[in-house]
Amino acid sequence: MSTPSLSRETIVVLDFGSQYTQLILRRVREARVYAEMLPWDAPQEELDRLDPKGIILSGGPNSVYDQDAPYLPRHVLERGIPILGICYGMQLFAHQLGGRVARTTQCEYGLAEIQVDAPDAPLFQGLPTEQKVWMSHGDRIDDLPEGFIAWAHSASSPFAAIADESRRLYGLQFHPEVAHTEHGPAILENFCRRICGCQDEWTPGSFIEESIAQIRDAVGSGHVICAVSGGVDSTVVATLVQRAVGDQLTAIYVNTGLMRKNESEETMARLREQLGLDVVYADASETFLDALKGVVDPERKRVIIGNTFIDVFEDEVRRLGQVDFLAQGTLYPDVIESAISAQSAVKIKTHHNVGGLPEDMRMELIEPLRYLFKDEVREVGRALGLPDDMVNRQPFPGPGLAVRILGEVTYPRVATLQDADAIVREEIARAGLQDEIWQYFAVLTPLMSVGVMGDSRTYANVAGIRAVTSEDGMTADWARIPFDVLARMSSRIVNEVPGVNRVVYDISSKPPATIEWE
Catalytic residues: 87, 175, 177
Q: How many CB atoms lie within 10 A of CB 396?
A: 19
β-bridge pairing 169-172 and 224-227: unpaired
How many Å apart are CA 399 and CA 309, to the nearest integer? 9
Q: Which residues pair with 503 in a beta bridge?
A: 463
Nearest CA to 64 out of 9, 17, 21, 113 is that of: 17
Q: Is the peptide bond before 368 cis (omega within 30 degrees of 0)?
A: no
How many Å apart are CA 311 and CA 291, to the nearest integer? 12
DSSP code string of 325-347: EEE----HHHHHHT---TTSPPP
Q: How many CB atoms lie within 10 A of CB 144?
A: 19
CB 73 within 8 A of CB 49: no
* 344 Cβ contact partners less than 8 Å away, ≥ 6 residues apart: 15, 39, 336
* 96 Cβ contact partners less than 8 Å away, ≥ 6 residues apart: 64, 71, 72, 77
Nearest CA to 192 out of 317, 58, 11, 365 is that of: 11
Burial class, 209, CB count within 10 angstroms (exposed 0-12 / middle 13-18 / buried 19+): exposed
Residue 169: enclosing H or E segment and its boundaries?
strand 169-172
